[in-house]
Structure 1
């Protein structure tokens, strides 16, 4: 209930303007209940971000080794970002919470490692180590997500995922 209350409030206004009292009122709980679980609103936000990353990771692992795993994960990622733009701005923005940005990038790198680690794919990168390719692509994906959020989700999540897939495929096929 506290998580939902925080996310609902973040859709309406900035995180800095939200108080613990606002969160507990929205959740219809006492402040003492909040403090039984969290030290402050920053700790609640930390838990929300961690849960979000774990959920994205769980969903991508459930897709197994399917050929469209990365695409489907990216669609879900953009959909989630569209639903919670303030959360993503906090995580990825200039004053972002670096630890969560790093975790999100690592999740993307793991997804791409499954695709890029095959010998037929890695040969296309002319000796560039796959971890560097993965970091490059994950950083690019996160940069595109920031751009998209800054433009208030200008394009649908499905289009964004498809376009990122197209760019990745173009890179894979380049000699």
Structure 2
């Protein structure tokens, strides 16, 4: 992985930011209306009221624009989630933020979880959720770890389950509210902890 540069990043020209925002909003609106595969660069620029030459100053094609939108979405979720701190109800609040974010970006999540070219972003999303879960799992006396299962195994088990539930929820057009989903997943996690076997004499491994 390349080391971050010590040089201060130069601010982005406001006109560039505005053009990119207009292209992003046009893309999202068209995805909602037609689906990603049915739209073209011409459609995007017409919706954004920009020239095609302006589009190609910033992106090679519509896939690169979508990739940038996905990156921005992951960064936004990461910022929002890390602002939650280390509170006792952190798991509930993390899940609530996650489902609210998915509700706001329903079509993008569908693309990310279902389109083969976007699976890398699903992996990033899962990794982010695992990072947010670590603090909760590593608290002393967590019953989910009473069987001596390593934290990464429990973490992957839970986050994979959460991702599966999210896909189910998206497929049903957000049938239940984010609040309900966060509460139910929190209750299921709590029940798993209450019924975790405590038969192992080995301390949980962290690696």
TM bracket (short chain):
over 0.9
Quote the residue 1:25 is aligned against.
46
- For residues 41-91 of structure 1, the C-alpha deviation after alignment (integer angstroms, 9 at most, x for no partner) is 111111111111111111111111122333223223222322332211111
Quote the residue 2:36 is aligned against.
15
Provide the aligned C-alpha RMSD in A.
1.6
- Which of 115, 122, 126 is residue 105 of structure 1 equivalent to? 126
Higher relative contact order (CA 8 A, sep 6+): 1
- Which of 148, 167, 180 is residue 146 of structure 1 equivalent to? 167
SS in structure 2 at match of 1:120: coil
Quote the residue 2:14 is aligned against.
none
Work out the number of aligned pairs and report it.
175
Which structure would you say has the larger Rg?
A: 2
Distance 2:111 2:130 in 1: 21
Q: Which runs of 5+ in 2 are unaligned?
A: 1-21, 197-207
Contact 2:113 2:167 in 1 (8 A): yes
Q: Which runs of 5+ in 1 are unaligned?
A: none
TM-score normalised per structure 2: 0.79
Q: Answer with 88-97 or 9-18: which moved more.
A: 88-97
The reply to whether residue 46 of structure 1 matches residue 67 of structure 2 is yes
Distance 2:28 2:146 in 1: 41
Cα distance, 1:95 vs structure 2: 3.1
Pairing of 1:66-85 with structure 2 (within 5 A): 66-85=87-106
> 1:153 and 1:123, CA in 2 relative to 1: closer, same or farther beyond 3 A?
closer
Contact 1:3 1:44 in 2 (8 A): yes
Q: Answer with 78-87 or 139-148: which moved more.
A: 78-87
Distance 1:173 1:102 in 2: 29
Quote the residue 2:8 is aligned against.
none
Distance 2:141 2:186 in 1: 18
